[in-house]
Amino acid sequence: MADQDIEKASIDSKERLKALREERSSVIERNKELLKKQNSDTGLIKKGLRDGAKSIPELAKETGLKSDLILYYISAMKKYGEVTEEGHSGRYFRYSLVDKKRPSKK
């Protein structure tokens, strides 16, 4: 009798998970699209920084992305050690990619 209860609970659990996946499928798809866009945008920023340090306005002009979005991504990339500040260009900081082969300065 206990084996039947376990099997029934397993089937119920699987059905609930399936229903939950179906219910949330639109949210899951939307999040997948947002992640694709984020990866594309950060890829453009990294590509722009491969040639050397650039300011936010320079990156905006080169990538076609809005300055506030670039600043958002640069802040996150800086937090996770992917970019670093490389001095100033007028009143703007310049950012460059961190060489993953060398330890970053802190």
Mind listing the domains of the chain with CATH numbers? 2-97 (1.10.10.10)
> In this predicted structure, which of 8-12, 38-42, 74-78, 83-87 has the lowest mean pLDDT?
8-12
Supply the pTM of this predicted model.
Answer: 0.74
Per-residue pLDDT band for 98 (boundaries 50, 70, 90) equals: very high
d(CA 102, CA 106): 12
Beta strands in 41-91 (DSSP E): 54-55, 83-89
Per-residue pLDDT at 13: 86
d(CA 24, CA 85): 41
d(CA 53, CA 72): 17
Per-residue pLDDT band for 65 (boundaries 50, 70, 90) equals: very high
Nearest by Cα to 65 from 41, 97, 82, 83: 41
Give, as one character, the DSSP assignment of residue 52.
S
